[in-house]
Structure 1
Amino acid sequence: MHVVVNAATSADGKLSSRRREQVVISGEDDFARVDRLRADSDAVMVGVGTVLADDPHLVLDDEAYRTDRRENNRPENPARVVADSRARTPLDARILDDEARTYLLVSEAAPRDRLDDLRAHGATIVVAGEDRVDLPAAFDTLEAESVDRLMVEGGGELIFSLFEATLVDELSVYVGSKIIGGRDAPTLADGEGFVETFPELALESVERVDDGVLLRYSVS
């Protein structure tokens, strides 16, 4: 599976404010780029924190992309994937509608009755790991479900975990012309942080987009 992490940060590296509410960082050109990335992917992934904070829909905005996918015998929207160790995804979350298939990656610690409720609301449950989601094992299951290209949209805890598990192949970061600040504001890669060895990135391109800059990296 090829994993592409895509994120937008402020100039000081924040994904949103300390309130963890959605902050608009990029503009129309970058929104279109993200929609194109989604259209090229088999699935789009977020962490449960993003679901709880933003209630994202994770479907394509441009009808032309949906049409193109249908004409190529693909679902009109990529599948949606949520890393949700304890099955905290709300039953009325927008990702549980019938616009696309939704996989919830959970651990064995997730309550059984909660999983039954989520299944009844259309979720496909993937159990991997005892207390937290075992991402490599869960990704093996997704790959068996024909997810060959996965786009990850955040948040910082999930992105750190993916780098920690050496599962990331590409990183695209839009850096906007905005300062958010705050020691408690989420960053691109939160989690415990690296202290001895660090993921190595190779800068592939730099492009001005909207009023910011898009950085593309490959991950070695």
Structure 2
Amino acid sequence: MHVHVNAAESVDGKLSTREREQVPISGPADFDRMDELRAGVDGVLVGVGTVLADDPRLTVKDADRRARRERHGKPANPARVVADSRARTPPDAEVLDNAAATYVLVSEDADDADVAALSASGATVITAGSGRVDLTAAFDRLEAHGVERLLVEGGGELIFSLFEADLVDRLTVYVGSVVIGGRDAPTLADGEGFTDPDSFPELSLTEVERLDDGVVLAYDA
């Protein structure tokens, strides 16, 4: 599986405020870039925190791009994927509408009733790992469902876990001209963090593009 992490952050590396509220970091040109990225993948992944905070649909916005996918024999929208160890995704979340297939990745500790409610709402539930989702095993099962190119849109806990598991192939980051601040505000890679410099994931900067009032940095991992 090819895993592409895409995010927008402030100059000081924050994804949103300490209250986890969305703030405008990028602009129309970057939104269009993100829509093109969605149109080119088989699935879009977020963590359950993003679902609970923002209730996104994770669909392709542009009608021409949806039509292009269909001309190539693909669904109009890529599958939505939620990493949700304890099955906290609400059964009425936007990602569970009928606009695309939805996969929820849970751990063995997820409550059976919550898992059943997600299945009844149309999700395909993939169980992998104890305590927290085993992303490597879950991705193997996603591939069996035809998800070979995956776009990750956050949040920070999930992105750190992907780097920790050495699952990231590409990273693109829009850096907007704004300072958010706050020691408790989410960053690009939260979680426990790496302590040994020898374990830091190494990235190779491949592109720099000015867009809106910011820059897009592209890295191979």
- Normalised to the residue count of structure 2, the TM-score between the two structures is 0.98
State the partner residue of 2:178.
Answer: 178
For residues 90 and 147 of structure 1, the distance between their equivalents in structure 2, rounded to whole angstroms, comes to 23
Give the secondary structure class of the aligned counterpart of 2:75.
coil
The offset of 1:91, in angstroms, is: 1.2
Find out whether 1:39 has 2:39 as its counterpart. yes
Find out whether 1:21 has 2:21 as its counterpart. yes
State the partner residue of 2:194.
Answer: 194
Give the secondary structure class of the aligned counterpart of 1:103.
strand
Deviations 1:196-218 (A, max 9, x none): 11000000011100000000000
**4+ residue runs over 2 A deviation:** none
- Give runs of aligned pairs for residues 1-80 of structure 1, distance below 5 A: 1-80=1-80
The code of the aligned residue for 2:161 comes to: S
Find out whether 1:216 has 2:218 as its counterpart. yes
Give the secondary structure class of the aligned counterpart of 2:143.
helix
The offset of 1:60, in angstroms, is: 0.6
For residues 24 and 151 of structure 1, the distance between their equivalents in structure 2, rounded to whole angstroms, comes to 21
Deviations 1:31-52 (A, max 9, x none): 0000000000000000000000
Deviations 1:175-195 (A, max 9, x none): 000000000000000000001
Deviations 1:106-162 (A, max 9, x none): 000001111111111011000000110000000000111111100000000000000
Q: Alignment RMSD, CA only?
A: 0.4
For residues 13 and 180 of structure 1, the distance between their equivalents in structure 2, rounded to whole angstroms, comes to 8
For residues 95 and 127 of structure 1, the distance between their equivalents in structure 2, rounded to whole angstroms, comes to 18
State the partner residue of 2:148.
Answer: 148
- Give runs of aligned pairs for residues 43-122 of structure 1, distance below 5 A: 43-122=43-122
For residues 173 and 117 of structure 2, the distance between their equivalents in structure 1, rounded to whole angstroms, comes to 36
State the partner residue of 2:139.
Answer: 139
Give the secondary structure class of the aligned counterpart of 1:31.
helix
For residues 69 and 173 of structure 2, the distance between their equivalents in structure 1, rounded to whole angstroms, comes to 26
State the partner residue of 1:124.
Answer: 124
The offset of 1:82, in angstroms, is: 0.3
For residues 194 and 113 of structure 1, the distance between their equivalents in structure 2, rounded to whole angstroms, comes to 35
For residues 186 and 114 of structure 1, the distance between their equivalents in structure 2, rounded to whole angstroms, comes to 27
For residues 81 and 93 of structure 1, the distance between their equivalents in structure 2, rounded to whole angstroms, comes to 12
Give the secondary structure class of the aligned counterpart of 1:18.
coil
- Normalised to the residue count of structure 1, the TM-score between the two structures is 0.99
| Segment of structure 1 superposing worse, 114-123 or 153-162 | 114-123
Deviations 1:5-52 (A, max 9, x none): 000000000000000011110000000000000000000000000000
Query: Structure 2: 5+ residue runs without aligned partners?
Result: none
Give the secondary structure class of the aligned counterpart of 2:130.
coil
The code of the aligned residue for 2:218 comes to: R
Query: Structure 1: 5+ residue runs without aligned partners?
Result: none
